[in-house]
Chain A
Amino acid sequence: MSGPTEWLSVTETAQKIASGEVTAARVVENYLARIANVDRELNAYLTVTSDEARKAATEIDRKRAANQPLGPLGGVPIALKDNLVTKGTATTAGSKILDGWVPPFDGAVVEKLRAAGAIILGKVNCDEFAMGSSTERSAFKKTKNPWDTSRVPGGSSGGSSAAVAAGLCAASLGTDTGGSIRQPAAFCGVVGMKPTYGRVSRWGVVAFASSLDQVGPLTRTVRDSALVLEAIAGLDPRDSTSLDAPVPRYVDSLTGNVKGLKVGIPHEYFDATIDDEIRAAIEKAKAALVERGAILVDISLPNTAHALPAYYIVAPAEASSNLARYDGIRFGKAASGAKNLLDLYMKSRGSGFGPEVKRRIMLGTYALRSGYYDAYYKKAQQIRTLIKRDFDKAFHHVDVVLTPTTPTAAFRFNSKATPLDMYLADIFTLSCNLAGLPGMSVPCGLTVDGLPVGVQLMGKPLDEATLLRTADVIEAAVGLGNRRPGGRS
């Protein structure tokens, strides 16, 4: 096979390499060529690890020649959000304060991908420390939405979603703290999975909000999502919050059968302000499920309105703590010309962090002040318990909850006037993180302007399989099929 391989699914890529139809080296070269062509405009990549990828491809091809097993992702080129720690490759988390830091170790998901035979193609852009919903907050680049380059790719995993949507990798990993995988997946027309909190190890994830962060795949198909999730999930003794539960063969759950599946429709999500076109696309997804035997059940998640304020206490509080380590002394850049220690801290942090990060550090520092803990952080944690209880109750009656992923399709650059406008872009995705549940976004059509729309599915703890099964049916019925971004504004 000498034709283009960039649009192959993960499944197809692995199969064609395993069967010898194409070499891993060819697949890698095709991606590198496409990145060189297309990414000049899109700016998805911060670092392309060409040498490492070529070396890994040669090794895969050697193994294949020697009839050795290649692994489930053998030869599949994958891009990593730049807040995932990679041994020997710069890891910035989109921040100047980490500019130049080359980690001495691989994160757990990176180890697992390599062990499964995947090839790391490079590191992709994100909002600084994953704080944002548009990737505009990256300290380095503005990544564009491949469907309309005047629009954002979503965020914070905007590099991950843009790269997958534009055929610049077979799949990517992102992180999701309040929607950072699902929202960009929806904006770029790809499949985004945020697993159950603890399903995937956080060892080697540059922390934003420890009790909310989770790594997950962004892929062009639901089947790919299942494959990559299986490769990265599982207990890790280095992460005390990782869950000791067996990892199922997720692809086996893709039965195409949703007969009798109870799909919860929470009216709180649909009562909100949603663009008409989004609403219409979601209705199509619902109808497709009903057509195939699923049952829609009206449910209530009464504490939904409290998710945003609770999230904006918990996430900044934890972030203010997690980001205390960036003092410019052991990694990243120390400011020059400091007069004393305090001055060094203030100058390094003052010049190293961008405005959104500073805003959240201040919010979080305020919330954790002595004497205010009960009123803020503790209260927010109590709200989390209530939100979780809402879901627990709902899951007595339904198997999966369906909502829009976002209230609008991808917005234009600089269109969110205030931080709060930006925060509201995540209104539908926050609850899932607060409750620790698995959630995913799967494409369910395009707007008249040709912008993708995502439908969000949320499930019981550790029940990613039901999400994937449902998403697979939606994908087959109302997915984007062979429609690809034109990349024109």
Chain B
Amino acid sequence: MTELADLLEHWEPVIGLEVHVQLATRSKAFSPSAVKFGSPPNSLTDPVVLGMPGTLPVFNQQALALALRLGVATESKIRARSRFARKHYFYPDQPKGYQISQYDEPLCEDGHIDLILGGEVRRVRLQRIHLEEDAGKNTHTGAVSHVDLNRAGVPLVEVVTAPEIYSSEEAAEFMRALHRLVRWLEISEADMEKGQMRCDANVSVRRRGEDRLGTRTELKNINSFRFVQNAIEHEIARQVRLLDEGQRIIQETRLWDAERGASESMRSKETAEDYRYFPDPDLPPVVVDAPLMGGILKSLPELPTQRFVRYQKTHGLAADDARTLISERSLAEYFDAAVKAHPGDSSGRMIANWLLTELLGALNADGKTIDDTPMPAARLSELIRLVEDGTISGKIGKEIFEESYRTGEAPLAIVERRGVQQISDEAALWEIVEQVVSANAKQAEAYASGKDGLFGFFVGQVMKATQGRANPVITSDLLHKRLGR
């Protein structure tokens, strides 16, 4: 996008994101209805969800535990007593006429999420993470509107970044990092197609070198990683063009239309609603005490960026490999398990190679993921050990991998059954080398007179004689010795 690069020569974009993530609870945030995707419309409701008179909310403690995992993982300050507030607006997808959210006393503040950008870890600060309930869904067909309240009352966290993201790529990367993190923490499926993770972006531009922020617009409805990048890029370009033409940016909310690849104004600040926030009198403060925090801290896994650093420092992995390993928690855990099953700790690179090349290759070919691998980590580790200690050659190793992957048989058992152990015994190999050279005296002479290319021929003959089991390093040593150079 060189055009954008030109536009950005004098202008710097500043982006802040507000990301809604559905929490994977069994029931809704404030009532007993189940949370499920794809159920018949309005089948997941109850009097509370419907906002019936006389109903009262009761906060789902599972939602709190999940939100706290994110709070701790992002090293946020966690409020010992946070509060729910009512945010009022009239719309049919909001049966009570208000949404239960958090306002001036959110659960988490001042955390951060680390992105991996160009192999480097880049920190994006979070202003807050707060709890709220989702609204229902309106569908408009012609003159008729339908309301489905299955999603109403589903617990969400809203993650709000500081305005410290400076490109659409960074914004998309933030989304990927948050997506990975919430899946890693098992607090959300975060399936963007199902609306389990949704993003609003605040975008402004300012002259390079300027400290003050420009007038921002809010982009709504950007619901895939690609749309995040496209919509923000488009908005940056729109703003820079207007400013270059000497026009002003109007503070407004704009709706991204992915099909048209353009945004349109929804409402300006002048017509912005007054949400009349006030503390919800039906809900006591959300209390986070020491036992609750203790449980959260104990159950928290090692985080992706921590692993990213460890894989490079401790195991000497390349940044790209480390990054691939942390793309899914189960993949990283598979790697860790394979390393753990391995006696030495210097084999991380080897394990990463086999895992990323052979195993992922085989899984990909079968349309499977690491979660349904037929080969447990200990087995891959065992196979790698057989290659490393010279029991089998790397080439045979790949064959054994194939067989073990298909049949589930242990690598060592396959090696023993097939009798493919590598021959590393020097005396035994010397005998074979002796036979091969004697049987090919002409070629030996030719090699001696300088036909270097024939060395491979002799190696091939030894391999043929041993069905490929000869240790190639020793074989080559002995051949050099026998052939005189």
Contact = CB atoms under 8 A, between A and B. Distances in A.
B282 interface: yes
A320 B276 CA distance: 10
B53 A330 contact: no
Contacts of A330: 50-52, 95
A368 B97 contact: no
A444 interface: no
B55 interface: yes
A107 B52 CA distance: 12
A486 interface: no
Task: Say whether chain A's binding surface is mostly helix, strand, loop, or mixed.
Answer: loop
A323 B57 CA distance: 16
A325 B56 contact: no
Interface string B273-289: 01111100111100000
Interface in A89-108: 91, 93, 98, 101, 103-105, 107
B54 A327 contact: no
Interface stretch (B13-21, B86-94, B349-357, B410-418): B86-94
B54 A321 contact: no
B88 A321 contact: yes
Contacts of B283: 240
B275 A370 contact: yes
A85 B54 contact: yes
Contact of A327 (B47, B55, B59, B97): B97
A37 to B, nearest CB: 32
Task: Say whether chain B's binding surface is mostly helix, strand, loop, or mixed.
Answer: loop
B51 A321 contact: no
Interface string B45-85: 00100111111111100000000000000000000000000
Interface residues of A, number: 44
A210 interface: yes
B183 interface: no
A66 interface: no
Interface string B344-386: 0000000000000000000000000000000000000000000
A373 B275 CA distance: 11
B53 A206 contact: yes
Contacts, number: 97
A260 interface: no
Interface string A183-224: 000000000000000000011111101110000000000000
A345 B90 contact: yes
B53 A98 contact: yes
A303 interface: no
Interface string B255-291: 0000000000000000000111110011110000000
B98 interface: yes
Interface residues of B, number: 29
A207 B274 contact: no
Given A93-B53, A206-B53, A331-B52, A317 B92 contact: no
B53 A321 contact: no
A210 B56 CA distance: 10
A209 B56 CA distance: 13
A15 interface: no
A369 interface: yes
B96 interface: yes
B56 A240 contact: yes
B18 to A, nearest CB: 19
Contacts of B58: 237-240
B51 A238 contact: no
A365 interface: yes
Given A241-B282, A330-B95, A365-B276, A324 B90 contact: yes
A377 interface: yes
A318 interface: yes
Nearest to A349: B90
Interface string A304-343: 0000000000000110110111110111000000000100
Nearest to B149: A330
Contacts of A107: 54
B54 A206 contact: yes
A104 B55 CA distance: 11
B282 A240 contact: yes
Contacts of B92: 327, 329, 341
B274 A369 contact: yes
Contact of B53 (A85, A238, A320): A85
5 contacts: A203-B55, A240-B56, A241-B281, A321-B276, A327-B97
Interface of B: 47, 50-59, 86, 88, 90, 92, 95-98, 145, 274-278, 281-284
Given A85-B54, A240-B283, 14 more contacts: A84-B54, A103-B47, A103-B53, A105-B54, A239-B56, A240-B58, A240-B282, A241-B282, A241-B284, A321-B278, A327-B92, A331-B53, A345-B90, A377-B278
> Would you list the 7 A-B pairs with minimal beta carbon distance, nearest first?
A324-B97, A211-B281, A85-B54, A368-B276, A210-B281, A204-B54, A206-B53
